[in-house]
Amino acid sequence: MECPTCGALIVPNAAIRFDDEAGFIVGNGHVAHFSEKQMTIIIMLRDAYPRKVSREQFFDSMYKTTADEPDFKIIDVFICHIKKKIKGIGIDILTIWGQGYRLVYQEQGDG
């Protein structure tokens, strides 16, 4: 099934479970735990699926009430750490250069 908006392949994977409050994801026999800010990024990606989320959207959501904002590149660092943790779970984060990031579901067996 393709997304009518962007044409991306939609492959919902019921075997993947997101526990937003506890901060972990379970899939394909793997468990990955995340910090609060990492989980914020994951939730935003999941909720936007199959659309992309811009670095600005992540930054605004995570630091809107913080007076001492970190460098904008911190989002890239968070994404890098998340990508390492989700390896083998059945999801990945696709970088769309100059635009943002998008969650992708891998088909079963593509671990």
pLDDT in tens, 39-72: 999 999 999 999 999 999 999 888 876 666 678 8
What fold characterizes domain 17-105?
Arc Repressor Mutant, subunit A (1.10.10)
Per the structure block, which two tokens stand in for 109? Answer: 């067996």
Q: How far is CA 74 from CA 2, 41, 54, 85, 91, in A?
A: 32, 12, 13, 17, 22
Output the pLDDT for position 3. Answer: 44
Domain coordinates in residue numbering, the chain: 17-105
Does pLDDT of 4 surpass 50?
no
Tokens of 18: 């997101």
Q: Which tokens go with 59?
A: 């930054």
Q: Percent of the chain having pLDDT more than 70?
A: 78
Which of 98, 93, 107 is closest to 45 using CA atoms?
93
- Virtual torsion, Cα 60, 65, 67, 68, nearest 10 deg: -60
Q: Is the pLDDT of residue 2 over 80?
A: no
